[in-house]
Amino acid sequence: MDFTLNDEQRMLEETAARLVRERYGFEQRRRHAAEPTGYGAGIWAMMAELGLTAVPFPEGDGGFAGGGVELLVLHQQFGRGLTLEPYLASVVLGGGLLSRLGADAQREAVLPQVIAGETILALAYAEPSGGYDPFWIETKAERAGDGWRLSGAKSVVLHGDGAGRLLVTARTGGGTGDGDGISVFLVDPTQAGVGVRGYATIDGLRAAEITLDGAAGELVGPEGAAADALEATLAAGCVALCAEAVGAMEQACELTLDYLKTRQQFGAPIGRNQVLQHRMVDMRIALEQARSMAILAACSLEADAAERERRISAAKALIGTSGRFVAEQAIQMHGGMGMTEEAAVSHFAKRLVMIDHWLGDSDYHTARFAELPEAA
């Protein structure tokens, strides 16, 4: 048992931490958010330059073959800075799925540009009536000559409006809800059959509703057998989100603790009040429990699928709940200030609550955990 980082992981952490520290102050973040893409184009280029965007890809795809712990380390820092750049969408989800499923030619054509930060990928997997279930796919793909035509609708696609290419899940067989019969397609969103309705999300990111009306798609991987790769990719996404939540919880706790020590009322710092002290302790306990689960999830990415999925769902469920708890308490203890747009804490709170809405909330993952078979 060893909870320490190796030298390379420590360097990675330091690189990401420095980036966030120097380029992601609260005011800087505001400026990044105001850019046309909704994130810092310069920062994104810097992430690529520093090699961060290559971290999770296998060496054969031009990456550094980073695993769960590398994702943990990076995204924890991203969470501390509330970064807006499309790392999760393009590198972890889109790039991750393409790297797992794609033929050599597809990976060679797209992944170098993804790693260079020049092409943004988005993973369009969820559907309006599917809630958080990635297998609830009504979008259909049908053969048309040499290619495929896709029809359907995809909901709340992270960075779906800024993506150069979409990875779209569609059904080539099986019934809605089945694992079998799911295929993945590379889709050019600029073609006539694709409707992209982009919008900002409450946590400051970009997303889109995407409609497909006979849109051309290029099959990625084997027909009808993408479920396992999709699950593995979403698992990596959950690790990233869990880690971001821990980073955001750290900051929310630090800001709140600082506030309790400085804000004076009735002639004393409000942190003298035992009720507030105990709440702050409860926040800290929630943070430590969340950190533990983020570590467990990160260290389980390479485990066999059954054990991995159980642990990922456990982690996402616990972090959804604890993140919301920390967010609500942080706002409450900041009093009126916590309600304002100008206070940093409110943005951490929004991100924490919204993380529960990305890739499955605590209800979804708790129920999933309860249904997944226990390891012997």
Partner 1 sequence: MDITYTAEEQAFRAEVRDFLRDGLPGDISDKVRGGRRLTRDDHLRWHAALNARGWLAVHWPTEHGGTGWGPVQRHIFDEECAAAGAPQIIPFGVNMVAPVIIKFGTEEQKRHYLPRILDGTDWWCQGYSEPGAGSDLASVKTRAVRDGDHYVVNGQKTWTTLGQHANMIFCLVRTDASVKPQEGISFLLIDMDTPGVTVRPIITLDGEHEVNEVFLDDVRVPVDNLVGEENKGWTCAKYLLTYERTGIAGVGMAKAALRHLKSVARRQERCGRALIDDPIFRRRLAEVEIDLMALEMTNLRVVAAVQGGGVPGAESSILKVRGTEIRQAITDLLRRAVGPYALPFQHEALESGFNEEPVGPDYAAPLAPQYFNRRKLSIYGGSNEIQKNIVAKMILGL
Residue ranges that bind partner 1, judged by CB under 8 A: 1-6, 9, 69, 257, 260-261, 271-272, 274, 277-278, 280-282, 284-285, 288-293, 295-296, 298-299, 311, 314, 317-318, 366-367, 369-370
Contact 172, 223 (CB under 8 A): yes
| Tokens, residue 304 | 């066999």
Comparison of 124 and 260: residue with beta carbon closer to partner 1: 260
CB of residue 97 vs partner 1: minimum separation in angstroms? Answer: 25
- Output the six-digit token pair for 2: 């060893």
Strands 264-265 and 121-124: unpaired
Instruction: Indicate the residue among 108 and 288 with the shorter CB distance to partner 1.
Output: 288
Counting every residue written for the chain, the total comes to 376
Phi, psi dihedral angles at 279 (to 5 degrees) = -65, -40
Q: How far is the CB of 273 from partner 1 (least distance, A)?
A: 9
Number of C-beta neighbours around residue 268 at 10 A: 9
CA distance 269 to 283: 19
The Cα 350–Cα 323 span in angstroms is: 10
One-letter identity of residue 92: V
Q: Are 99 and 142 in contact (CB under 8 A)?
A: no
Which one, 7 or 342, has the nearer CB to partner 1? 7
The string over 3-26, giving b where at least 16 C-beta atoms fall within 10 Å of a residue's C-beta and e elsewhere, is eeeeeebeebbebbbebbeebbee
Q: Shortest approach of partner 1 to residue 58 CB, angstroms?
A: 20
Closer of 3 and 266 to partner 1 (Cβ): 3
Provide the minimum distance between the beta carbon of 240 and partner 1 in the complex, in angstroms, as a whole number.
16
Dist CA 249 CA 285 (whole Å): 11
- Cβ proximity to partner 1, 281 vs 339, nearer residue: 281
Which residue lies nearer to partner 1 by CB, 8 or 108?
Answer: 8
